[in-house]
Amino acid sequence: MPSVVTNRPPVFILGVMPRSGTNYLSNLLQLHPECVPTEVVWEDYAVAHANLLAGYSDAVTAHWDPAWGIEGATMKSFDASLGKGISSFLHAGGAQQLTIAKTPSVQNLDLFFRFFPDSPLMILVRDGRSVIESGVRTFGWRYESALHWLKREARTIVEFINQHPSEDYRYRIVRYEDLWQQPVQQMQELLSFLDLDAERYDFDQARELPVIGSSEMLENGGDELHWDPLEKTDEFDPLSRHEKWSDFMQYRYQQVVGYIMASLGYPPAAEGHVPFSWKLKCLFLDALWLLKKSLRPFIPKRQGR
């Protein structure tokens, strides 16, 4: 009887937030001939809503009588089977090709290995100031809301790291800045992590990978964001998005999220003299944010929001 060829589990890229570089990392991986993108959806959000899958699994297995001899391994197998169904949906290409699934969100990150225990995971982080500034330019984010959004997502990653020792789980924290500044070294490490042959990878093309979906398109006079590749120029610098931030904005960033981002490899700049007025303004913004959070359940959502 011939053996059954099974698809390779996909690799999941989860970005700390939108504008963190998930497309860039995915495109770098796709320079390897064994890597292919998902064909059905651009961004899958399978993990972001895994809480619904967990609720389903819990409801189903609650009906299983312990007298049947059900063990924990059976529960885990059921969860993994649900994840394999999603993986099969995302799979593209041949059985031995590696599908790259990506989502710019780490929501429900703690549930990843419950449903995808065999999939390698890459968690992409980026300097939060660049993420926020890019989101403001591209999607019209508000700075204060984006700061607290980043705080929540960064904390999710830190808690995941604390609960999942890297020697026991197959995942990697990837810094966007490292990818951009050292693409060859970083891709060599990631190819090894994915058990891919580095000799088949085009490192020269990785150095010159075109720019896709950058917020600089809008800043330089573009009418709207698009995803057509543009040649990378010497002037293109995605690491300096926040260089025009005011001193107070830099201080506010450090007050809200700087200490969490430090745990992800982004140490804060040395703090000099802080005007008393800045501290008062931060106290006011903190109080205003808490008030908004407390009122949010009572504020009706706008149509289309």
Model pLDDT for residues 218-239, shown as the tens digit of each residue: 455 555 554 555 666 566 677 7
| Inter-residue contact 15 to 104 (CB < 8 Å) | yes
Rounded Cα distance, 89 and 17, in Å: 24
What average pLDDT does this structure show over 25-37? Answer: 95
33: left (phi over 0), alpha (psi -120 to 50) or beta: alpha
Model pLDDT for residues 253-289, shown as the tens digit of each residue: 999 999 999 999 999 877 778 999 999 999 999 999 9
Task: Show the domains of the chain with their CATH numbers.
Answer: 11-240 (3.40.50.300)
Number of H helices and E strands in the chain, helices first, is 13, 5
pLDDT at 302: 44
Q: Lowest-confidence range among 23-32, 98-107, 157-166, 264-273?
A: 264-273
Confidence band (pLDDT; 50, 70, 90) for 214?
low
Rounded Cα distance, 18 and 215, in Å: 12
Please determine, for residue 5, whether its predicted confidence score (pLDDT) is greater than 50. no
Rounded Cα distance, 136 and 145, in Å: 11
Model pLDDT for residues 167-210, shown as the tens digit of each residue: 999 999 999 999 999 999 999 999 999 999 999 999 999 988 87
What does pTM read for this prediction? 0.88
pLDDT at 202: 93
Model pLDDT for residues 288-297, shown as the tens digit of each residue: 999 988 887 6
pLDDT at 3: 39
68 or 24: which leads in pLDDT: 24
Model pLDDT for residues 84-140, shown as the tens digit of each residue: 999 999 987 666 889 999 999 999 999 999 999 999 999 999 999 999 999 998 899
| Inter-residue contact 23 to 110 (CB < 8 Å) | no
Confidence band (pLDDT; 50, 70, 90) for 2?
very low
Please determine, for residue 4, whether its predicted confidence score (pLDDT) is greater than 60. no
| Inter-residue contact 97 to 36 (CB < 8 Å) | yes
| Inter-residue contact 170 to 112 (CB < 8 Å) | no
Longest CA–CA span in the chain (Å) reads 78
pLDDT at 223: 56
